[in-house]
Chains A and B, each alone.
Chain A
Amino acid sequence: MTEPQRPGKPLILEVKGLSVAYGTKIAVDNVSLEIERGEIFGLLGPNGAGKTSIMSSIEALIKPRSGQVLIDGIDVTDNPQRAKAIMGVQLQATSFQSELTIRQIVSLYSGLYGIRLTRREIDERLEDIGLSSEAGKPFKQLSGGQQQRLALLIAVIHNPILLLLDEPTSGLDPQSRRQLWGRIEHVRQAGGSILLTTHSMEEAQTVCDRVAIIDHGKLVTCDTPNRIIEKHKDDTRVKNVAHGDVTLEDVFIGLTGSEIRD
């Protein structure tokens, strides 16, 4: 993996002092992040750490208590429609209208992003992801891997400059996972930036240019996986959980604790 060249690349996502609260519970506490063009950025954290709240704020699904989210300079709170037009989203649990066929779903979502696709163009795109023979089937009849492929196709149907993926490989077999990473890499090569959440530290270490570890709503650390390992490998908490060479997972567990979160 190559280390990202930080200076000179335009910032696609800027999260500045983001705080999210649900009643009295603070889910995200003054988090700041930046993602450059063409960068794959991983957001890591135990369950309930605040990852989904950060993603939801970027997606303009929730209003932060304070802070600012800019996508290519567009303020998500002030101009949600414009911001949504330049980002693609794959939610953790993707669901489409159960009555619609795959072809109809692609037609609907391309329209929502301002793209008119003919039936032939839709079929070509479905062929690209190996779903041409499933075009007339409803979403629920697809396998988990097929559903993920369709969800990703829809997320990138408008060539977004920022792609948000919430646990994209969750529940996928190794083949589907490998294929998905290939497609994500292709998005990056086309000039898109990717922000993803994952519970797989191995994947994050291999695929992400930079990662941020979040816990209890706060940013614990943020850098390239290698630098994070280097920075924390001598931390007693990390040493206590490491077996052999320190991995990103060791650092993650060392910094966030071993107890199981709900």
Chain B
Amino acid sequence: MKYVTSYEQAVSPSTKLIYGSLLKADMLVLVKNRRSVVLSILLPMVILFTTHGNKAQQRLGGSLILVGLAITYGLMSTSMLGYTLAVARDRDAGVFQRLRVTPAPTWMIITSRLAIQVVANLVIALLVVIVGASMYHLTLSPGQYVMVLAISILGGALFLSIGLALVGMLKSSDTVNAAGRIVFAALIFLGLFGISGALGGALQFIASWSPVGTVMDLFSAAINPARWTSHDSLSLLVTLAYIVCFAAVGIRWFRWDTH
């Protein structure tokens, strides 16, 4: 039997090997979660295709807003329904506790998942902006693409922090699932109907300063940086404030296991 050879003094494994192993495993998990990946790409594409060339495009605020909306919803979907539910489910199942008894530091366990999620967010944003630019005949410079990717990281961080706050405050994965879907639906509603003003001025104001509103605004500004206004700068600050607040709530109340 080779499975135990002999007593030997184990050495602390290298950070590179531990982090590499975690990143590889988290990447495999993300790729194998086909439903979540497909949904995260499908949703923004559906928005782009259903609003292209009709009155909805005008009602919702034009092509820049629509591309911003599509990327925002893609990020929301992958971050809030994908990442958040995966964390809640793995915590319920005891996956985190199993990882925590290995020499892997907790910060590596957390950031490895986040890093893979950020890569997924960038891929989704890039796909949507390429398709959106082609559909709406927008010519984007390399600088504009870089801006879009930078805002994707920021927007993704915002929705991940909302997800983290949900996982921090709620214990059971079923409750996180239900609450995540309600928040997701509310944000979709705000983005589609609130920001356009279709539901009145008060709701338009709330929607434009909601997480979905500020991120959409930043995407529109990133695609057309020449029209960057003080409102966009304020959106950036509000987005950062949201990230800090939600992440603080999530980190403060996060528990590694629910038992």
Residues of A within 8 A of B97 (CB): 61, 91
Within 8 A of B (CB), among A85-133: 85-86, 89, 91, 93-100, 104, 107-116, 124-125, 128-129
Binding site for B on A (CB under 8 A): 37, 59-61, 72, 81-82, 84-86, 89, 91, 93-100, 104, 107-116, 124-125, 128-129, 153, 156, 158-161, 183, 186-187, 190-192
A128 lies within 8 A of B1 (CB): yes
Given A112-B99, A112-B104, A190-B7, CB of A97 within 8 Å of CB of B29: yes
- Interface size of B by CB at 8 A reads 39
Q: Which residue of B lies closest to A89 (CB)?
A: B101
A192 lies within 8 A of B18 (CB): no
Given A108-B22, A114-B17, A186-B1, CB of A161 within 8 Å of CB of B102: no
Given A86-B10, A111-B17, A191-B7, CB of A96 within 8 Å of CB of B101: no
In angstroms, Cα B103 to Cα A104, docked, is 18
Given A59-B101, A112-B99, A114-B17, CB of A93 within 8 Å of CB of B1: no
A114: which of B3, B9, B18, B95 is its contact (CB, 8 Å)?
B18
**Main secondary structure on B side of the interface with A:** loop
Q: List 21 A-B contacts (CB under 8 A).
A: A61-B100, A84-B101, A84-B103, A85-B12, A96-B98, A99-B29, A100-B32, A104-B28, A109-B21, A113-B103, A114-B11, A114-B18, A128-B2, A153-B3, A158-B10, A159-B8, A161-B7, A186-B1, A186-B4, A191-B6, A192-B7
In angstroms, Cα B2 to Cα A128, docked, is 7
Instruction: Tell whether B174 is near chain A: CB-to-CB under 8 Å.
Output: no
Q: Which residue of B lies closest to A116 (CB)?
A: B17
Given A81-B12, A111-B17, CB of A95 within 8 Å of CB of B95: yes
Q: Which residue of A lies closest to B108 (CB)?
A: A112
Residues of B within 8 A of A192 (CB): 4, 7
Within 8 A of A (CB), among B20-54: 20-22, 24-25, 28-29, 32-33
B13 lies within 8 A of A85 (CB): yes
Instruction: Tell whether B105 is near chain A: CB-to-CB under 8 Å.
Output: yes
Q: Which residue of A lies closest to B102 (CB)?
A: A112
Q: Which of B5, B7, B14, B22 has the most chain A CB within a 10 Å cutoff?
A: B7
A190 lies within 8 A of B5 (CB): yes
Given A97-B25, A99-B32, A100-B28, CB of A86 within 8 Å of CB of B4: no
In angstroms, Cα B1 to Cα A190, docked, is 11
A95 lies within 8 A of B103 (CB): no
B3 lies within 8 A of A128 (CB): yes
In angstroms, Cα B11 to Cα A187, docked, is 19
> Given A108-B24, A111-B20, 10 more contacts at CB 8 Å?
A85-B10, A86-B9, A93-B94, A95-B93, A97-B29, A97-B95, A112-B102, A112-B103, A161-B7, A192-B7
